[in-house]
Amino acid sequence: MPTNRTTCRVIYGDTDNMGQAYYGNYFRWFEIGRTELFRSLGISYASVESRGIFLPVAEAYYERAMSLPLFPDLTHAQQDRVVAELRRAIQS
């Protein structure tokens, strides 16, 4: 399975009054990740759709494993730890 690392800064407007990333934004960030994965493979949505192939999200589910802090500046090692924790949560 192809993978790609994408960095998204959580801006103030993406947070709630407790300084945590608002969960409603997670799916928007997932879509950014999907778009950047295509880009890394040299594929654009426009080229896929021009062939009559559309990629609607028919179902999406997310279970919060941990909170994302306001304005995270994570190192790659920290990002890897977050990804590993999310994978463990998804698999359990």
- What's 29's domain CATH number? 3.10.129.10
Residue 4: inside a domain: no
Asked if 77 and 41 count as a contact pair (C-beta separation under 8 A), the reply is no
Handedness of CA 75, 80, 81, 85 (dihedral sign): positive
Residue 5: inside a domain: no
Count of domains observed in the chain: 1
Query: pTM score, two decimals?
Result: 0.61
pLDDT at residue 75, as a whole number: 63
Please state, in angstroms and as integers, the Cα–Cα distance from residue 90 to each residue in 23, 64, 77, 86, following that order.
16, 9, 20, 6
CA distance 87 to 91: 6
Asked if 21 and 15 count as a contact pair (C-beta separation under 8 A), the reply is yes
Residue 34: inside a domain: yes
pLDDT at 72 exceeding the cut of 60: no
Note down the domain range covering 50. Answer: 12-91
pLDDT at residue 66, as a whole number: 61
pLDDT at residue 67, as a whole number: 61
Percent of the chain residues topping a pLDDT of 70: 77
pLDDT band of 51, cuts 50, 70, 90: very high
pLDDT at 71 exceeding the cut of 50: no
pLDDT at 45 exceeding the cut of 70: yes
- What is the arithmetic mean of pLDDT over 18-38? 85
